[in-house]
Amino acid sequence: MGSKPGRDAKLPDAEQIKRSLRATAYKIVVRLFGPRLTPKVAAGVAVTIFLVVSAAEIWSKINSSESFLASIGHSIKNEYLEFAARRNAARVRANPTPGSTFQDHLYSPEMVVVPAGKFLMGAPSSEDDFFDYERPQHPVAIGYSFAIGRFPVTSDEYMYFTSHTGRAWPEQPFPRNGKNPVVNVSGYDAQDYVAWLSKKTKQKYRLLSESEYEYAERAGSTTTYWWGNSHKRDEMCAHANGRDCLHNGALPVGDSPANPFGLSDMAGNVWSWTEDCWHDSYAGKPPPDGAAWMTGDCLQRVERGGSWNTQDDAVALGSAEREPDSPNVHWPTVGFRVATTF
C-alpha cells in the first residue's frame, strides 16, 4: 500500500528538513562560538535551537502551515549569510586592498575598495562640449583609501530601509525590479539613508564628495569618458545607459560594464546626489584633497553621472559633467550611491 494522500505523504521531506535544520544549527553555533565552546556544549546549544525549531514545526502543523518550516530554514540561512558577510567586511576593512568587495550587512550595498590617488578634476578648455561651470581643471590628491557602492543604491536596498524605519516608499516609474536603482529620492532622503545605514552597521557611511565621484568615475582615465573619447552612439551605449540608447528608463544596476575600478553605472542610468554645495565654477578654492566643498550655494547640491534621460549624451555622460539641483526635489532620473572611509 502506498502512502495516504495529503500531509502524511510529505513526512519524509519533513524529516529531511529537520535533520538539515539540526545540522545547520550546529554548524552556525560552531562557526559563531567555536573558539569559546567545547564540542559538547556547542552540540547542546544546537539541540536547544533545534527544539525551538521543532516547537515551531508543531505549531505550524496545528495551524496547517507547511510554509512555516521553509521560513525557519530561510531565516537560519540568512543568519549564516549575515555572519559570513560581516566576517568578510571586518577582514577587508582591516586590510583594504583596492578592488576588494564587501558588505557590512546582508541588505546593505556591496562596496568596492578604491585606491588613493591624484587626478585633474574638471573639463579641459580644449573640450568645447562642456560648460564653464565644469572648469577650470585643477589637481586633486585623494590621500586615503575608501570604498564606494559598486552600484547605485537599489530598490531592494532602499525598501529594506523604508520597511525598518516606517518611511514612505517613493513611487518608482519603472516596472518592479529590486535591482533597479532607486529613484525619486531627494538629497535629504539620501542623507537619511546613509545616517540609518551608519547606525545599522556601526560603520560611518556617507554620500560621495563631488571630487571623489569624478575620481572614481575616471578610474585613472584622462579622456572625455572613462572608456575613451568617442562620441559615437554605439560606443557610448556599450558602456552606459543614456537617452540616445532609447531604453526610456533606468536599467537594472550592473547592466552596463564596470569601469577599471570595478564600479558600474558611474556614467548614465541615474544621476547621483553628492555632498557638495553648488558653485558656478572651480575658480574659487575647491578642496584639493577629496573633501566635499561645503561653502557656496548650499540650497543646491551637486549631482553627478548623467542619466537615462539626459538630453545630450555627448556632454552628460562625460566624467566632468555636473549639475545643480535642490535637495528637496524628487526626480525619476536621480538616485544615489554611498561611500565609507577606512
Please give the mean pLDDT across all residues of the chain.
85
Given a cut of 50, is residue 8 above it in pLDDT?
A: no
- pLDDT confidence of 129, banded at 50, 70, 90? confident
At residue 283's C-alpha, the angle toward residues 282 and 287, to 5°, is: 55
User: Of 252 and 45, which is predicted with more confidence?
Assistant: 252
Predicted local distance difference test score (pLDDT) of residue 2:
41
Exposure string for 16-53, b = 16+ CB within 10 A, e = fewer: ebeeebbebbbebbbebeeeeeeeeebbebbeebbeeb
Could you tell me which residue, 33 or 232, shows the higher pLDDT?
A: 232
Summarize the confidence of residues 253-257 as an average pLDDT.
95
Look at residue 47 in the predicted model and tell me its pLDDT: 59
**pLDDT higher at 53 or 294:** 294
Per-residue pLDDT, averaged over 50-71, amounts to 56
Q: What angle do CA 133, 135, 139 make, to 5 degrees?
A: 135
> Is the confidence at residue 131, as pLDDT, over 60?
yes
Q: Which three cell numbers stand for residue 223?
A: 579622456
Is 1 a residue whose pLDDT tops 50? no
Which has the higher per-residue pLDDT, 68 or 306? 306
Euclidean distance between CA atoms 337 and 335, whole angstroms = 7
pLDDT band at 5 (very low <50, low <70, confident <90, very high): very low
How deeply is 184 buried, as exposed, middle or buried, from its count of CB atoms within 10 A (0-12, 13-18, 19+)?
middle
Element (H, E) at 299: strand 297-304
Those residues with Cβ within 8 angstroms of residue 185's Cβ, 6 or more apart along the chain or in another chain: 158, 170, 193, 273, 330, 334, 335, 336
Sort residue 292 into left (φ over 0), alpha (ψ -120 to 50) or beta. Answer: beta
Q: Give the pLDDT of residue 59.
A: 55
Quote the CA–CA distance of 253 and 231 in Å, as a whole number.
Answer: 23
**pLDDT, mean of residues 137-149:** 97
Domain 101-341 top-level CATH class:
alpha beta
Cβ–Cβ under 8 Å, residues 334 and 325: yes
Omega within 30 of 0 (cis) for the link into 286: no
pLDDT given for residue 127 in this prediction: 83
- Average pLDDT rounded to a whole number, residues 111-140: 93
- Three-point CA angle 330, 335, 336, nearest 5°: 130
204 pLDDT higher than 80: yes
**Most distant CA pair in the chain, distance:** 88
Joined together, the cell numbers standing for residue 311 give 538630453
Contact 210, 274 (CB under 8 A): yes
Torsion sign, CA atoms 317, 286, 302, 279: negative
**Cα(265)–Cα(112) distance, integer angstroms:** 13
Average pLDDT over every residue of 180-205:
97
Q: Percent of the chain beyond pLDDT 90?
A: 65
Q: How confident is the model at residue 18 (pLDDT cuts 50, 70, 90)?
A: low
Q: What does the pLDDT read at residue 123?
A: 94
Cα(77)–Cα(244) distance, integer angstroms: 43
Q: Residue 120 in contact with residue 139, Cβ under 8 Å? A: yes
Q: What is the pLDDT of residue 277?
A: 98
Region 318-328 average pLDDT: 96
Region 264-276: mean pLDDT is 97
Residue position matching grid coordinates 544549527: 25
**pLDDT exceeds cutoff 60 at 158:** yes
Domain boundaries in the chain?
A: 7-94, 101-341
Q: Per-residue pLDDT averaged across 132-154, rounded?
A: 96
